Amino acid sequence: MKITFNETAMKGVIVIESEKFEDHRGYFREVYHSVSYGPLGKDFLQDNLSYSKKNVLRGLHYQLTNPQGKLISVVRGEIFDVAVDIMRGSPSFGEWFGVVLSATNNKQIYIPPGYAHGFCVLSEYADVYYKCTELYSPGDEYSLIWSDVSVNIDWPVSAPILSKKDQGAPALAQIPEELLPEYKG
C-alpha cells in the first residue's frame, strides 16, 4: 500500500495520501496501519466518528493539560479541515493551514498537540473519523472563535451552523496566556 507523508508549512502538520483500490464492487483504502504510519511516531488511544450536515462548523478546539494529536479522515462527504498554531512562543503563532478532505480524494491530515482544530462540512453531510493520541478529557477542552479576524481563516462558508459553545468562543487575543499551550521547539 503506497502512503505519502507531505509536510506543510506548519510544523508537525502533515497531509497524508494513501492508495485506494477500486473495482466494480467499490473500493478499499487503508486509513491506519501502525507500521505504515510509523513516521508519525504516535500511538493512538481513542477513535472518534462524527456526522455533520452541510455548513456545520465544528471548532476550533484544543486541549491544554492532555493535548490530543489527531489523525483525521473523511469516510463520507467532504470537509475543509483547519489547524491553527496557538502555541505561545511559536514562530508561526496565529497562523493556520487548511485542506479539503473527502471520501474520494484519499487525503488525511495529522494535527499534532498545540494546535486548535476545526472543520466545516462542504457536502450535504460528512462522516469524519479521527484517531487521537490522548483520551478526551471534558474539563480540559478550550475553544477559539472560528471567525477570529487576527487569524483570518479563509473558510468556504460565510454563515456556518455552530454549537452554542463554539458561538461564544473567544478570539485568540482574549485567551489568557496560561490557557495556551507552550511551544517546545
> For the chain, what are the domain ranges?
3-173
Q: Is domain 3-173 in CATH 2.60.120.10, yes or no?
A: yes
Q: Taking the model in full, what pTM does it have?
A: 0.93
- pLDDT, residue 28, reads 84
Query: One of 61, 129, 142, 183 is an active-site residue; which one?
Result: 61
Determine whether 130 is an active site residue. yes
**115-121 sheet: strands from edge to edge:** 96-102, 78-85, 115-121, 57-63, 141-143
Query: One of 37, 62, 110, 130 is an active-site residue; which one?
Result: 130
Q: Which amino acid is at 42?
A: K
pLDDT digits (tens, 9 = 90+) for 17-59: 988 888 888 878 878 888 888 878 778 999 999 999 999 999 9
